[in-house]
Chains A and B, each alone.
Chain A
Amino acid sequence: MATTITKPETLFGKRVRRQEDPRLITGTALYLDDLKMPGMHHACVVRSPHAAAKIRGIDTSAARALPGVAAIFTGADVTGLGAVPCAASIPGLRVPHHHLLAQDRVYYVGHPVAVVVGTDRYIARDAAELVEVDYEPTAAVADPEKALAAGAPAVHPEWPDNVAFNFHQEGGDTEEAFRQADVVVRQRITSQRLIPTSIETRGVIAEWRAGERSLTLHSSTQIPHLLRTLVAGILGMPENLLRVITPEVGGGFGSKLNVYAEEALMAYIAMKINKPVKWVESRRENFQATIHGRGHVDYFELAALRDGTILGLKLKLIQDLGAYHQLLTPVIPTLSVLMMPGLYRFKNVNADVVGVFTNCVPTDAYRGAGRPEATHGIERMVDMLAQELKMDPAEIRLKNFVHADEFPYGTATGLTYDSGDYAKPLHKAMAEAGYEQLRREQAAARAEGRLVGIGLSTYGEICALGPSIALPAGGWESATVKVEPSGKVTVLTGASPHGQGEETTFAQIVADELGVPMDDVLVVHGDTAVVQYGIGTFGSRGTAVGGSALYYALQDLKAKMKKFGAMMLGTEQVNFSGGYCVDEATGKSVTFAEMAVAAYHAKKLPANTEPGLVATHFWEPPNFTFPFGAHLVVTEVDRETGAIEIKRYVCVDDIGRIINPLIVDGQVHGGVAQGLGQALWEQAVYDESGQLVSGELTDYALPRASRMPWIESSHTETPSPVNPLGVKGVGEAGTIGCSPAVVNSVVDALSPLGVRHIDMPLTPEKIWKLIEGARA
């Protein structure tokens, strides 16, 4: 028995390179389309080219006649199956029955109408073109405000007003606040539809084992367990006969936090043809038939005193829902409402949300999901107020921040902010950017006629979704830790990461808690037959909720190991640390592996202790977490062309304690890129007839390496009291903080011309027209 023990360095807070990377950098990771099954068939979905039409008939005879075509399914085949589910429970919500395939009408371009199954994907594609659908086009409406106008075409004929729901929330006394106000600023602000665009599109393989009456669904999803429950429901099959496996997932950003028609369809088809069937979405389908994000038209009114004290906010929010509700579609704008007060102390909020049907693909959760829209709105309004009052935008923010000694802080929308020191990241960002100097340089540039802007956003967000009361299907997360007889450690997490690096951060947590080398830890996820039920990875919850469940499971496991250690050392006074159990009196120890063997061989057991070393914990978070931060952006606008150059991008994000700074940096950079995408380039455009004219990556502009600025990222660390790790979540911070800072910066640049607001994306032509307009 060893007696000299050096406690290993803890890994919490270390820039550890990722465990998942070796398979990814060698091309050996297996994504959905890499999987092949014996006898596998391929499906191609026939989709509507019309935004609205009646289906007069479908002729599949030519397609069926093509050699290699195994089967064709149309709406009539699936009428009796369940609907694509929506988990929202908003009072009075109108829920159209979302059949797996269109019945007598199509409601958006890309609406699935038929599925062709062939022996290979080329045959399926050829046959799909031979399916003749007789459409009678009807009037469509693609713009939510036009959909609300009298006489607009009805998306669903049964609801001629196109209203799916109204939702009202208020806190305080907004009318009184507005009566007291010296100044009220008003603005219509849009948050355009975005296409999430994970580089891997969606894909499904369904495998039916007739003998076992069991079905395995491989799907590129963020939520394997929820998918299993809900697809079983659609098909009316026992949940325990359905197994969902997520292979490597090539990005999600919320778009794979859903249950899609194709997932249930492939399951159904595999049973019907008794063969495995694969469907992989094309990029066009990904644009037309996977959820979009955002899609807001917001009317804001902000009331304040002349000294800059904000008194209250009114909001009318028009949410473009698209033609159907996907899993969380109607919930997203309600998250916006929750986040409306931002980081500020005002207690009066009055918000009306109207959810509007349009002849477009549904909107749903895309990175940030409701919070970027809210943050963009409030941060723009605060800047507009500063402009109106001729105050510095930093000063007006500092004046209105919730104070560091006021936490936990109850907001006007009923949230309790966990912890924070909002001035800290703002001061740090200003110091790192050299704010005073920048303002002097700006003044000098303006004197030369140059358009230089400095923009701030100080954002807050709701992360670690979340307490179960706030989520339709539960907001807890689960973890199982197994110490194998050999001393290796296996973690089963219900969070299903897809790029976030939890195989590494979770291994760091395990290594620190158990004192084993990180390399001895395997993190398993994404297989419902292996992993206990879990909720999934979204809403910046993977580490904050899933990691916390793991932490508690580890405590249970440590307690049990300690019992074995104490028994083996013959004393009660033991210390479990660094991979050993040490007799405090004698310094004698047993190793981790020795305890593992003892627990499994079970020749002798401590009192009231079962053999084996497995602990499972389902953790219910008591609250959300509320990260915050400050982004500062310096821009210069080309006066002649309207082109925008980002000269500095400084961000200071407080996401609680940081487990792996390398991974956190990556999350911030990626988040900022998506925020910049919205601010400058990305826009899903439906034309008046409901055609998605930004239909491929040749028109929908994702951020490219050459267009990204260098991101100067740093942090303050205010631990969250909500969870034992003190972490808050980082997945969405960059996205949420970014877009208002960029727009504020460009508006600041153009403010000498009298510009006070510009809607995203800030295309050069839009800016040029503003400059020309000011000249005129």
Chain B
Amino acid sequence: MISNAFSYHTPETLEEALAMLEDGGGKILAGGMSLIPLMKLRLASPESVVDLRRIPGLKAITEEGGAVRIGAMATHHEIEISPVIRGKCPLLGEAASAIGDIQVRNMGTIGGSVAHADPAADYPAALVALEARIRLRSANGERTVEASEFFVDAFTTAMEAGEIVVAIEVKEEEASEGFKYEKVAHPASGFPVVGVAVRVKKSGAGIAMARIGVTGMGPHAFRARNAEALLEGGAGAAAAAAVVGEGEETNSDLYASGEYRRHLARVHAGRAIAAALTRAL
């Protein structure tokens, strides 16, 4: 388990990093939790590796004007313990703390995770439920992409060649919102077989706002808009959960078939909705 040889670079600025990517043979190294295993298996053999860790400011988690900005190089552990995250978008913190194990959370970064777009990553469920935006930078400048449009297919995102994820931007969850990330972990890899992230806001006896993100079930994370609409339209949690994943493609592997994954997504959506409602004020 030894990777192929490569050249290693630690640019000091984003501009420098972008320039290094120009010839196409380079890969960005953030925490390395996805890239390094692939390189060791020789499934990935980049000619050069561009490590972002010396670029200042990419790690910061800040809050401004009702939005939280999470630097792409923030680690899962930094996110799970961040007071800003805990206070302003706790759903993301809950998803971060569900990732892998402490060693992986200490190294792995949110930018690396979203760029890799593993169909079984934890974050995307929360990010689509939070209506997060992914901030991308290229030689041509910056742009943002909605999370629900960012995850296009398995390992496929809306990023263009030469773009780097620089931050994730999330609107504050309102204090009255309830939230929950529910996960069924694969017994070996710890990846979610299915993960469901839910946000709800109550209005009297009804639900004023519902957001449901699902990961692991299909080739990419998605928002269960049909279920959200049912909840917001006054349907019960059970009725809403029952339509999660309708019309979506499913993954299957040795551990869980597509049919079972869809079923799990529904069961855990129901449980996550119930849990989120108990947390909502």
Residues of A within 8 A of B (CB): 121-122, 125-126, 129, 282-284, 640-641, 643, 680-681, 685, 693-694, 697-702, 704, 707, 763-765, 768-769
Q: Which residues of the partner chain A approach B257 to less than 8 Å between Cβ atoms?
A: 765
Stretch from B64-72, B74-82, B126-134, B260-268 that touches the partner: B260-268
A-B residue pairs in contact (CB < 8 Å), sample of 16 = A125-B2, A126-B2, A282-B1, A283-B1, A284-B1, A641-B184, A680-B187, A685-B254, A698-B189, A699-B188, A699-B189, A701-B187, A764-B256, A764-B260, A765-B256, A768-B260
Q: Is B42 an interface residue (CB 8 A)?
A: yes
Q: Which residues of the partner chain B approach A282 to less than 8 Å between Cβ atoms?
A: 1
Q: Which residues of the partner chain A approach B42 to less than 8 Å between Cβ atoms?
A: 129
For A765, give its contact among B2, B189, B260 (CB under 8 Å).
B260
Instruction: Give the distance in Å from the alpha carbon of A640 to the alpha carbon of B264 in the complex.
Output: 8
Q: B149-190 interface mask toward A, CB cutoff 8 Å, 1 = contact, 0 = none?
A: 000000000000000000000000000000000001011110
Say yes or no: A700 contacts B188, CB within 8 Å.
yes
Contact flag A681-B187 (CB < 8 Å), given A641-B267, A694-B254, A765-B260: yes
Q: How far is the CB of A607 from chain B (nearest CB, A)?
A: 66
Instruction: Give the distance in Å from the alpha carbon of A654 to the alpha carbon of B29 in the complex.
Output: 55
**B interface residue count range (under 10 / 10 to 19 / 20 to 34 / 35 or more):** 10 to 19
Instruction: Give the distance in Å from the alpha carbon of A591 to the alpha carbon of B211 in the complex.
Output: 82
Say yes or no: A640 contacts B188, CB within 8 Å.
no
Instruction: Give the distance in Å from the alpha carbon of A568 to the alpha carbon of B188 in the complex.
Output: 66
Instruction: Give the distance in Å from the alpha carbon of A701 to the alpha carbon of B4 in the complex.
Output: 28
Within 8 A of A (CB), among B1-47: 1-2, 4, 42
Contact flag A768-B263 (CB < 8 Å), given A701-B187, A702-B188: yes
Least CB separation from B5: chain A residue: A126
Say yes or no: A698 contacts B254, CB within 8 Å.
no
Instruction: Give the distance in Å from the alpha carbon of A681 to the alpha carbon of B190 in the complex.
Output: 13
For A640, give its contact among B187, B256, B267 (CB under 8 Å).
B267
Instruction: Give the distance in Å from the alpha carbon of A122 to the alpha carbon of B6 in the complex.
Output: 13
Instruction: Give the distance in Å from the alpha carbon of A704 to the alpha carbon of B186 in the complex.
Output: 12
Instruction: Give the distance in Å from the alpha carbon of A129 to the alpha carbon of B189 in the complex.
Output: 27
Instruction: Give the distance in Å from the alpha carbon of A641 to the alpha carbon of B267 in the complex.
Output: 7
Q: Which 7 pairs between the two chains have the least Cβ-Cβ distance?
A: A701-B187, A701-B188, A765-B260, A698-B189, A125-B2, A640-B267, A681-B187
Within 8 A of A (CB), among B231-264: 254-257, 260, 263-264
Say yes or no: B188 contacts A697, CB within 8 Å.
yes
Instruction: Give the distance in Å from the alpha carbon of A455 to the alpha carbon of B218 in the complex.
Output: 37
What would 7 more interface pairs be, CB under 8 Å, given A122-B2, A685-B254, A765-B257?
A129-B42, A641-B263, A699-B188, A699-B255, A701-B187, A702-B188, A765-B255
Say yes or no: B187 contacts A707, CB within 8 Å.
yes
Say yes or no: A693 contacts B2, CB within 8 Å.
no
Instruction: Give the distance in Å from the alpha carbon of A714 to the alpha carbon of B10 in the complex.
Output: 57
Instruction: Give the distance in Å from the alpha carbon of A643 to the alpha carbon of B257 in the complex.
Output: 15
Instruction: Give the distance in Å from the alpha carbon of A473 to the alpha carbon of B260 in the complex.
Output: 50
Least CB separation from A122: chain B residue: B2
Q: Which residues of the partner chain B approach A697 to less than 8 Å between Cβ atoms?
A: 188
Q: Which residues of the partner chain B approach A698 to less than 8 Å between Cβ atoms?
A: 188-189
Say yes or no: B254 contacts A699, CB within 8 Å.
yes
Instruction: Give the distance in Å from the alpha carbon of A763 to the alpha carbon of B187 in the complex.
Output: 10
Q: Which residues of the partner chain B approach A699 to less than 8 Å between Cβ atoms?
A: 188-189, 254-255
Q: How far is the CB of B278 from chain A (nearest CB, A)?
A: 18
Q: Which residues of the partner chain B approach A284 to less than 8 Å between Cβ atoms?
A: 1
Least CB separation from A639: chain B residue: B267
Say yes or no: A641 contacts B264, CB within 8 Å.
yes
Q: Which residues of the partner chain A approach B1 to less than 8 Å between Cβ atoms?
A: 282-284
Q: How far is the CB of B43 from chain A (nearest CB, A)?
A: 12
Q: Which residues of the partner chain A approach B256 to less than 8 Å between Cβ atoms?
A: 764-765
Say yes or no: B255 contacts A763, CB within 8 Å.
yes
Instruction: Give the distance in Å from the alpha carbon of A681 to the alpha carbon of B264 in the complex.
Output: 18
Q: Which residues of the partner chain A approach B260 to less than 8 Å between Cβ atoms?
A: 764-765, 768-769
Within 8 A of A (CB), among B180-206: 184, 186-189
Instruction: Give the distance in Å from the alpha carbon of A75 to the alpha carbon of B188 in the complex.
Output: 36
Q: Which residues of the partner chain A approach B184 to less than 8 Å between Cβ atoms?
A: 641, 643, 764
Least CB separation from B194: chain A residue: A641
Instruction: Give the distance in Å from the alpha carbon of A195 to the alpha carbon of B105 in the complex.
Output: 28
Q: Which residues of the partner chain B approach A122 to less than 8 Å between Cβ atoms?
A: 2
Q: How far is the CB of B176 from chain A (nearest CB, A)?
A: 29
Instruction: Give the distance in Å from the alpha carbon of A284 to the alpha carbon of B1 in the complex.
Output: 9
For B254, give its contact among A640, A693, A768 (CB under 8 Å).
A693
Q: Find the residue from B186, B188, B189 having the highest chain A CB count within 10 A.
A: B188
Least CB separation from B42: chain A residue: A129
Q: How far is the CB of A672 from chain B (nearest CB, A)?
A: 17
Least CB separation from B187: chain A residue: A701
Instruction: Give the distance in Å from the alpha carbon of A167 to the alpha carbon of B194 in the complex.
Output: 47
Instruction: Give the distance in Å from the alpha carbon of A282 to the alpha carbon of B40 in the complex.
Output: 12
Say yes or no: B188 contacts A121, CB within 8 Å.
no
Instruction: Give the distance in Å from the alpha carbon of A306 to the alpha carbon of B1 in the complex.
Output: 60
Q: Which residues of the partner chain B approach A129 to less than 8 Å between Cβ atoms?
A: 42
Q: B203-232 interface mask toward A, CB cutoff 8 Å, 1 = contact, 0 = none?
A: 000000000000000000000000000000
Instruction: Give the distance in Å from the alpha carbon of A701 to the alpha carbon of B187 in the complex.
Output: 6
Instruction: Give the distance in Å from the alpha carbon of A707 to the alpha carbon of B188 in the complex.
Output: 11
Instruction: Give the distance in Å from the alpha carbon of A769 to the alpha carbon of B257 in the complex.
Output: 11
Instruction: Give the distance in Å from the alpha carbon of A509 to the alpha carbon of B224 in the complex.
Output: 67
Q: Which residues of the partner chain B approach A701 to less than 8 Å between Cβ atoms?
A: 186-188
Q: Which residues of the partner chain B approach A641 to less than 8 Å between Cβ atoms?
A: 184, 263-264, 267-268
Q: Which residues of the partner chain B approach A768 to less than 8 Å between Cβ atoms?
A: 260, 263
Instruction: Give the distance in Å from the alpha carbon of A284 to the alpha carbon of B187 in the complex.
Output: 18
Least CB separation from A693: chain B residue: B254
Instruction: Give the distance in Å from the alpha carbon of A122 to the alpha carbon of B5 in the complex.
Output: 10
Q: How far is the CB of B239 from chain A (nearest CB, A)?
A: 16
Instruction: Give the distance in Å from the alpha carbon of A698 to the alpha carbon of B185 in the complex.
Output: 12
Q: Which residues of the partner chain B approach A769 to less than 8 Å between Cβ atoms?
A: 260
Q: How far is the CB of A642 from chain B (nearest CB, A)?
A: 8
Q: Which residues of the partner chain B approach A694 to less than 8 Å between Cβ atoms?
A: 254
Contact flag A121-B2 (CB < 8 Å), given A129-B42, A698-B189, A702-B188: yes
